[in-house]
């Protein structure tokens, strides 16, 4: 990713309404709550696998998907075809 243009960000923020600024602050809070993923300069398969493994460990530690009792059944439900909006049977 390229360098962050602070001046451009500041100019854009100055055009927002108070309600939009509130939303920006909520989003900033959300971003700050995310775990920091290290940038990967080494693009080898081994490094990629290590990053994935560490990310999965973080998800497990955070209790992500802990509400899913039966993963196989959950996948069946998720993959069930649903009626698309605006389409006839």
Question: Is 27 found in the same domain as 53?
Answer: no
Low-confidence ranges of the chain (pLDDT < 50): 1
Distance CA 16, CA 5 (A): 17
Domain that holds residue 68: 43-79
In a domain, 85, yes or no: no
Q: Which two tokens stand for residue 84?
A: 């698309």
Using the structure block, give the residue that is written with the tokens 């006839």.
88
Tell me, what's the pLDDT at 42?
64
Is the separation of the CB atoms in 48 and 40 below 8 Å? yes
At 5 the pLDDT is 84
Q: Report yes or no on 62 lying in a domain.
A: yes
């Amino acid at each position: 990713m390229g360098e962050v243009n602070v001046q451009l960000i500041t100019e854009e923020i100055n055009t927002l309404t108070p309600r939009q600024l509130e939303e920006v602050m909520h989003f900033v809070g959300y971003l700050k709550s995310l775990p920091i993923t290290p940038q990967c300069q080494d693009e080898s398969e081994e490094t990629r696998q290590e990053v994935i493994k560490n990310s999965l460990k973080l998800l497990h530690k955070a209790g992500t998907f802990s509400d899913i009792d039966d993963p196989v059944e959950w996948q069946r439900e998720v993959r069930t075809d649903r009626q698309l909006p605006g389409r006839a049977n």
